[in-house]
Chains A and B, each alone.
Chain A
């Protein structure tokens, strides 16, 4: 399911609170969380709603579509990304609402713009155990 990448993809450490998210990511699905009490859709996942602290929350599968909220082409950084420059760090606003931190995968970072439509892709972590969501221009 995962796509090829030249970006370093450090392993993640799922917790009881986040393992469903990471299992879905390994299957190529991007989840967010919704509070069934107050309706808040949020990210990153957590067991209790960050608005009302209700425990009645559920996973929602996103369409994996969004637009660039802000982006930066990083040209200098430390390990493990120092050999991957230039690469793009961005916030993407999902169609479902939440803005999440991610990378934009593109051969032409100079052409990116705020508001540009993007869609999710998934990259296997370096140890092959998990996968993380990134985005690419539509």
Chain B
């Protein structure tokens, strides 16, 4: 294993899932306070700050949070995986001596604050937005093509939801805490075929925060910290018309993270895998190399993803499918649940025994079309 460059010292997931009574900036404040308290640090210790998305540019949020003397800021916006990348970027900044205590915050209120528009359009807007595209139907196109090329079935996709729901029943903050069956999923209404309602993640208000520190700072804290062992990221796009909808940027981000960490798939005790939709998980697991390309549907059958005894326990908080997908950006809860597992602080029935190495994978943008993938390998040895 390579030398650790940085540690995660604090995490905080906002318990709200519906916040009509709070501003988005206020949620950032809540999660900043929560993550710093978890680490045993204060804003006076923070010298690096990372955020993306709402409600304002990074300068506005530094101002709002009252952060002073920052030597490093980063507002890389890769959609839902922004914050997974932020942890990787923060670790690199810490390793380069640019900062010692980096705070990452995110928040949003898509549930209580309807409308407000999406990200700014790029030069492709006239060639895409004209046709009534949205998040669900774009992911549905990827699912359709995956089914066509590899014979993946709706029932196999449903297994992902079944595992997430099984875990969510132990999370009192989860939006949906009822277990479901494969039949429940495939008999739920089609939103954009082949994706059913229960193939889709929740829409929730909320947010989360992470504190990334140097190893020296972490060693002085009275808190279990988690080592950032490896980080990889990638952007995958239309390739000017030569698009392939059946793979993601994880084919590049995964090997980068595994190599940096010096670990293999057999070393991974737990995985947080971005689950905006069930198909997101199936394609990602294939691309990360947990099974052969095209075999993801068969891989997730038979309880593979269910904690604590499955071959690859995943999303033990219930994931974006059942627990939380704050601001329509699910990367942050993925980091937080991996840290909980490595600290031994997951909900009892789903805590993976002897969890030493965890993987966090984020997806941003639209699956297979124009997207970002970020993989982190985290270690609980600190």
Which residues of A approach B to under 8 Å, CB–CB?
Answer: 7-10, 12-15, 17-18, 22, 32, 40-44, 46, 50-51, 69-78, 80-81, 84, 87, 89-91, 97-103, 114, 132, 134
CA–CA, A21 and B140, complex, Å: 28
User: What chain B residues lie within 8 Å of A44 (beta carbons)?
Assistant: 123-124, 126-127, 240-241
The answer to whether the Cβ of B2 comes within 8 Å of any Cβ in the partner chain is no
Known pairs A73-B190, A75-B191, A89-B141; A43 contacts B241 (CB<8 A): yes
Q: Min CB distance, A135 to chain B, in Å?
A: 11
Can you name the residue of chain A whose Cβ is closest to the Cβ of B140? Answer: A72
The contact string, 1 if C-beta is below 8 Å from chain A, for chain B 180-203, is 000000000111111100000000
Question: Are B145 and A12 interface neighbours, CB within 8 A?
Answer: no
CA–CA, A14 and B126, complex, Å: 8
User: What chain A residues lie within 8 Å of B216 (beta carbons)?
Assistant: none
User: What chain B residues lie within 8 Å of A98 (beta carbons)?
Assistant: 240-242
Q: Which 5 A-B pairs have the closest CB atoms?
A: A98-B241, A81-B132, A42-B240, A72-B140, A50-B240
Question: Are B192 and A75 interface neighbours, CB within 8 A?
Answer: yes
**Size of chain B's interface in residues, with CB distance under 8 A?**
34
User: What chain A residues lie within 8 Å of B242 (beta carbons)?
Assistant: 42, 97-99
Which residues of B approach A to under 8 Å, CB–CB?
Answer: 123-134, 136-138, 140-142, 144-145, 148, 189-195, 239-243, 245
Known pairs A43-B240, A74-B136, A77-B136; A100 contacts B127 (CB<8 A): yes
Question: Are A72 and B137 interface neighbours, CB within 8 A?
Answer: yes
From the candidates B130, B144, B189, name the one contacting A72 in the complex (CB within 8 A).
B144
User: What chain B residues lie within 8 Å of A97 (beta carbons)?
Assistant: 241-242
Question: Are B192 and A76 interface neighbours, CB within 8 A?
Answer: yes
Question: Are A99 and B130 interface neighbours, CB within 8 A?
Answer: no
Question: Are B145 and A73 interface neighbours, CB within 8 A?
Answer: no
Question: Are A72 and B240 interface neighbours, CB within 8 A?
Answer: no
Known pairs A73-B192, A76-B192, A114-B144; A91 contacts B243 (CB<8 A): yes
Q: Can you give 9 contacting A-B residue pairs, CB < 8 Å?
A: A17-B123, A42-B241, A42-B242, A43-B241, A46-B240, A72-B141, A76-B192, A101-B133, A103-B131
Can you name the residue of chain B whose Cβ is closest to the Cβ of A80? Answer: B132
Beyond contacts A13-B126, A15-B123, A22-B126: 6 other A-B pairs, Cβ-Cβ < 8 A, are: A14-B126, A40-B240, A50-B240, A75-B190, A89-B131, A89-B138
